[in-house]
Amino acid sequence: MNFADLGLHDDLLSALAALGYEEPTPIQAESTPPIVDGRDVLGQAATGTGKTAAFALPILDRLRRDDAARKRREPTALVLVPTRELAMQVSEAVHRYGKAFDTRVVPIYGGQPIFRQLEALERGVDVVVATPGRAIDHINRGTLPLNHIEIVVLDEADEMLDMGFAEDLEAILDATPTDRQTVLFSATMPPRIGGLARRHLSDPVNIRIEKPKVEPGEAPKVRQTAYVVPRSHKPAALGRILDVEAPEAAIVFCRTRVEVDELTETLNGRGYRAEALHGGLSQEQRDRVMSRVRSTTADLLIATDVAARGLDIDHLTHVVNYDVPAAPEAYVHRIGRVGRAGREGVAITLIEPRQHRLLTNIERTTKSKVLVEPVPSVDDLRARRIEMTTANLREALVDRDDLDRFRTVVDELGTEFHLADIAAAAVRLAHLAAAGDDDEQVEIPRVELGKPRKERPDRKPADRTSTRGPGDKGRADRSHDRGRGEHQRPEHRSERGRSRLHDKIVEEGFTRLFVGTGRRNGLRAGDLVGAICGETDLVGKQIGAIDITENFSLVEVPSAAADNVIRALRGTTIKGRKTSIRRERF
């Protein structure tokens, strides 16, 4: 199949040919025709499969055929995306495909001066690409007219829900014309996506693009390796692994902004060219970081999941999970950034001895085995560095044009020393100049991956039936999981504020926080999850049990992120008011 088979306008086909596009990807081939025909579409496909063109081309086709729409100042299409990076990426793609016929596209997102967006919208626009929060802001201001919207696209819908945008999405969709066309793309299809689709899509065409299966005997495109590392040695272990791997370009994923900043400083101290990317940076800073990475001025990008969402780095060779993702889906998203278009990629995960269960969940989800290895030793590093020095010297010997001016040095020293000794001394100097002194390296303790601890017979399993945030998938009632019979309804909360979680054991790896507001102030679980996800780099699925009483609330968050959540929420408002937040006092 080629693009001419998709029913696109001839001008659009000419633009694609000029850009070098030859044939559509599976998601483009499946979804473009029904979108062109005006059908609602519910599509599932992984990151990096070409979803942007799958909806951008039909939008441009509609605009090219509709003279009235192109003459209007108000937008015809609205594309909603989870992050500012993805908003810029989608906007650039629409502009590139529609440049030949002057398509007007405007990205609107937080972190950019709003007056620029207001000016662009005032001048007239065909396509608006927006993050939900900033779209709501413009709708409330009356600066984003929706009366003529003919098509709405929800890109990466699962990620938008995980980030707490559910209410914003509902409000935006309710504000658009009822006869609009709606297209929803998502990498995963949790029940909440199904509910959103049932409420806002009309008789949609369902499309699901399966991941290509690796044939027996065919080498996988992504080499997956996990290194077992004690937590206190993780920075040194990462440096050692990077020294051995020598990536051309790598993304290192961390859980929190603080971890990103600390690790970036550590790696720069080791001589790497590392850049930090997280939600605490201004848009100008983020643009500067990505410019350095794409121009190869920097070779390591240390980032949080949310900040790196939607980024596409052509020369990326390695993805590193500095912490094991709590959700297997996050792992799949991350490693999907390498091994594309037939290129080989490497996925590395640093795993602590007691995180066996997390690795098992990932292997079950990916249906692939992750090779577990000890951290490379000092001897391994020395051998690797010698290999690299040998390769560099071999390359220099192939190009001999510039060697003549150094032969006089060899001739002079040859009267005093053996030629083999001269060569060895020169190699040593070249090796130390490139790799540094191996004697400064310290061995990192080798540890084994432990098995999950068994439940103590005298300890009751924690009751996880309390109210949970919208990211509760995979964290169902533990008593049900352990075969204790039919799911039982939880006891009622007391009216004045007794929480069911007070007497329950906190799940390993989580910390319970006290939030000084509750039902009396109209707080709901979604409000709490939205506040946490909006102010930190956590996503909904990482948040644990939530219980909201009359006067206060309890929420469980990953222990590694607890301090960051406390700091972030102390500086913001929940339901329009400042509130106290601290660790629960037992």
pLDDT digit string, tens, across residues 467-487: 444 344 333 333 333 333 333
CB proximity list for 446: less than 8 A, separation 6 or greater: 228, 374, 375, 377
Is pLDDT at 174 greater than 90 in this prediction? yes
Specify the range with the lowest mean pLDDT, choosing from 175-179, 221-225, 292-296, 382-386. 382-386
pLDDT at 315: 82
Cα distances (angstroms) measured from residue 53 to each of 61, 90, 287, 414, 579:
12, 9, 23, 65, 44
Cα distances (angstroms) measured from residue 288 to each of 84, 92, 143, 160, 279:
14, 17, 29, 25, 14
503 DSSP assignment: G
Is pLDDT at 145 greater than 50 in this prediction? yes
pLDDT at 454: 38
pLDDT at 487: 33
| pLDDT greater at residue 533 or residue 496 | 533
Helix/strand/coil for 405? helix
Is pLDDT at 564 greater than 80 in this prediction? yes
pLDDT at 457: 37
- Find tokens 């039919």 and name the residue: 486
Is pLDDT at 92 greater than 60 in this prediction? yes
Specify the range with the lowest mean pLDDT, choosing from 334-348, 472-486, 496-510. 472-486
Q: For residues 182 and 78, give the distance between their C-alpha atoms in angstroms, rounded to a whole number.
A: 10
Compute the average pLDDT of residues 200-211.
89
Specify the range with the lowest mean pLDDT, choosing from 157-171, 241-255, 429-443. 429-443
Q: For residues 150 and 128, give the distance between their C-alpha atoms in angstroms, rounded to a whole number.
A: 12
pLDDT at 298: 86
- Report the alpha-carbon angle 510-513-517, nearest 5: 150
pLDDT grade, residue 127 (50/70/90)?
Answer: very high
Is pLDDT at 314 greater than 90 in this prediction? no
CB atoms within 10 A of CB 170: 14
Do the beta carbons of residue 147 and residue 177 sit within 8 Å? yes
CB proximity list for 109: less than 8 A, separation 6 or greater: 83, 84, 87, 88, 130, 131, 134
User: Looking only at Cα atoms, what is the longest distance across the chain?
Assistant: 96
Compute the average pLDDT of residues 115-130.
91
- How high does pLDDT run on average in the chain? 79
pLDDT grade, residue 456 (50/70/90)?
Answer: very low
Taking the alpha carbons at both ends of the chain, their separation in whole angstroms is 64
pTM: 0.49
Do the beta carbons of residue 356 and residue 451 sit within 8 Å? yes
Cα distances (angstroms) measured from residue 120 to each of 67, 73, 107, 206:
21, 10, 9, 35
Compute the average pLDDT of residues 351-369.
82
Compute the average pLDDT of residues 234-247.
87
pLDDT grade, residue 105 (50/70/90)?
Answer: very high
Parallel, antiparallel or unpaired: strands 553-558 and 300-304 = unpaired
Is pLDDT at 230 greater than 60 in this prediction? yes
pLDDT at 251: 93
Specify the range with the lowest mean pLDDT, choosing from 216-230, 318-332, 428-442. 428-442
Domains and CATH numbers, the chain: 3-208 (3.40.50.300), 222-378 (3.40.50.300), 478-583 (3.30.70.330)
Compute the average pLDDT of residues 191-215.
83
pLDDT grade, residue 459 (50/70/90)?
Answer: very low
pLDDT at 211: 58
pLDDT at 527: 79
In tens, the pLDDT along 282-305 reads: 778 888 888 888 888 888 999 887
pLDDT at 202: 94
**DSSP letters for 262-331:** HHHHHHHHTT--EEEE-TTS-HHHHHHHHHHHHTTS-SEEEEEHHHHTT---TT--EEEESS--SSHHHH
What is the radius of gyration, based on Cα positions, of the chain? 27
Residue 254 bridge partners (DSSP): 304
Compute the average pLDDT of residues 404-410.
75
